[in-house]
Amino acid sequence: MMKLGFDKWIVVLTVTVAALLQTIDSSIVNVTLNQMMGNLGASLGDISWVVTGYAAASAVMITMSGWLTAKLGRRNYFAASIILFTIASIFCGTSTNVWELVFFRVVQGIGGGGLLTTAQSILIQTFPKEDLGIANAIFGMGVIIGPSIGPTLGGYITDNLSWSWVFYINIPFGILATFLTYTYIKEPAEKVTAGGMDWLALILLTMGIGGLQIILEKGQENDWFDSGFIVGMSIAAGIGILGFIWRQLTVKLPILDLKLLLQRRFAVGTLFNFILGFGLFASVFIIPVFCQTILGFTASQTGLLLMPGSLATGFMMPVVGGLMSKNYISPIWYAAIGFVLFFGFCFDLSAISLAAGPDYFFWPLIVRGVGMGLIFIPLTTITLADLKNVEIPQGSALTGMIRQLGGTFGTAIMTTYISTRTVFHSSRLGDNVSLYNPLSAERIRQYTNLFLSKGDALMTATNKAYGVMQGAVIKQALVMTYADAFLIIGSFFLICVPLLLLFIGRKIQAPAHVEMAMD
């Protein structure tokens, strides 16, 4: 029987530190790209591979993490991932050109991809049912809060130090997590059999997931299917994904056990994880962009804006974990309330205007934070409840990959939507700007007189007046577009509420823990 005491909470600390390494690093780099471009002499297209390379490598490794856990041992693979991530961080910080940085970001993604899913399986296989809720709550804080504090931390480091320190900051935490892993994390009593390396499956997986990640990251930049590069990557990704699925369903010991999706609860829970990733990353992406480009907030102001919502999530995690351990109500209801609250956050921000200040965002972001806290732990419990202990690493890997893809889809779809929808709203609003419209004609006259009073010639003043009007139209079109985007994100979460009825009528409890000998 596993001895329950202080050691088990050290395990929680260990996996949470590892989760923070991965989740913060996935967003912290975004605010340093401009400084990297100037320092390394890179173009915007070149520097964007710093983000794309990490995301693609991470997605592939998330998929493989269940097989690698079985092959290398849970502790060994977890520690190796942390070490590789930390060493790659050092080389990222010392890179002298952009392609050197891209290479080591790919290596960093290989290390980071195994951290979240392995950490989650460690918790589930370590803790008994009565303690699993609070353990998942603490771990979930790292998963949910990381993407929110990443931009704030990155902006502060960039302003006060240099871009290299967004990587160097990983070093002490990586060393600490490695030491704690080898000291406190033990192998599970139940062993999972892993076959030899299926090189064909690995190639197909890299083609499929890596190609899809690149398409989603680079599609908007390259005009989607007007680009031969995107068309070629789409063909490669399609062949890779279909080939990988066929391979995993026909081999005896697959890298990723797709047959787990035949279990209804796991399949629907995996879909919810996709939507969770979609909403989490899409909202974290569009709020800072809106605040900085439309409302004129600084990076530090935007980071502080997101902080109360992150703290609300952090507060709710242990509360929900404690309530779930008491079995007052089914986890389904916690998740349902969380989905409704997230929709409420999106619905509230769909009425946003140019007059919005920091105070306008406070309560909607608090509601979002509470909603995320209510979703994460119950959703994990619901999704993995029917799996056997030996299936949990594979199940965690699959749901982690889907959540990662959900985040990538969310960011890519919102980027494309904002671009195309802004053109639509600009066109509609621009139709009303003419000398035949009394209101716009009066506004143009006022602007023209203003520029005339500053000494401009009539033609120059008139052109400037039309330029100001065009700028106002574009800004208003962007506000309308972002309002629409919030409503679309929220609709995905609202749809999840009736889907939760698929779980009604079946008892849900956390997966039984594996008894371990913990010294």
Residue 129: DSSP 8-state: H
pLDDT (average), residues 410-438: 75
Q: Is the pLDDT of residue 519 over 60?
A: no
Contact 217, 410 (CB under 8 A): no
Q: Is 163 exposed, middle or buried (0-12, 13-18, 19+ CB in 10 A)?
A: buried
* pLDDT classification of 376: cutoffs 50, 70, 90: confident
- The answer on pLDDT for 489 being more than 80 is yes
d(CA 350, CA 252): 50
What does the alpha-carbon distance between residue 359 and residue 336 come to, in Å, rounded to a whole number? 28
Q: Which residues are within 8 A (CB) of 5 and not within 5 positions of it... i.e. 6 or more apart?
A: none
Please, which pLDDT band fits residue 458 given cuts at 50, 70 and 90?
A: confident
Helices (H), 185-330: 199-205, 211-218, 228-250, 264-293, 299-326
Q: Would you state the pLDDT for residue 434?
A: 62
Spell 167-206 as b/e; 16+ CB within 10 A means b.
bbbbeebbeebbebbeebbbebeeebebeeebeebbebbb
- Separation of alpha carbons 182 and 343, rounded Å: 42
Contacts of 121 (CB under 8 A, 6+ apart): 69, 74, 392, 393, 396
pLDDT at residue number 188? 66
Q: Using one digit for the tens of pLDDT, what is the confidence trace for 303-319?
A: 678 778 877 887 887 78
CB 303 within 8 A of CB 310: no
More confident residue, 402 or 516: 402
Length of the chain: 519
pLDDT at 367: 92
Least confident of 34-43, 143-152, 199-208, 455-464: 143-152
Residue 449 has pLDDT above 90, yes or no: no
Cβ 282 vs Cβ 489: under 8 Å: yes
The per-residue pLDDT for 343 is: 92
Q: Of 417-421, 453-457, 474-478, which gets the smallest average pLDDT?
A: 453-457
> Is there a contact between 138 and 43 (Cβ–Cβ < 8 Å)?
no
User: Does the pLDDT value for residue 508 go beyond 70?
Assistant: no
* Most confident stretch, 88-92, 97-101, 142-146, 429-433: 88-92
* Burial class of residue 224, CB neighbours in 10 A (0-12, 13-18, 19+): middle
In the block, residue with structure tokens 């079995």:
327
pLDDT value at 513 more than 50: no
Q: What is the model's pLDDT at position 347?
A: 92
Q: For position 213, what pLDDT does the model report?
A: 72
Alpha carbons 445 and 277: distance in angstroms, whole number? 49
Measured CA to CA, the distance from residue 356 to residue 353 in angstroms comes to: 6
Give yes or no for residue 448 having a pLDDT over 50. Answer: yes
At 384-399, the pLDDT tens digits run: 777 777 777 777 777 8
Taking residues 442-471, report their average pLDDT: 74
Listed range (19-28, 185-194, 271-280) with the worst mean pLDDT:
185-194
Question: What are the tokens at 278?
Answer: 């979609």
pLDDT: is 261 or 94 the higher one? 94
Residue, of 345 and 467, whose pLDDT is higher: 345
pLDDT recorded at residue 87: 93
The conformation of residue 357, written as its DSSP 8-state character, comes to -
The predicted pLDDT at position 395 comes to: 78
Q: Which of the pair, 38 or 436, is modelled with greater confidence?
A: 38
Q: Is the pLDDT of residue 185 over 90?
A: no
Backbone angles phi, psi at 144, to 5 degrees: -85, -40
Q: Which of 31, 85, 83, 86 is closest to 57 using CA atoms? A: 85
Residue 117 has pLDDT above 50, yes or no: yes
How far the first Cα of the chain sits from its last, in Å, is 11
Exposed, middle or buried, 227 (CB in 10 Å: 0-12/13-18/19+)?
middle
Cβ atoms of 279 and 410 closer than 8 Å: yes
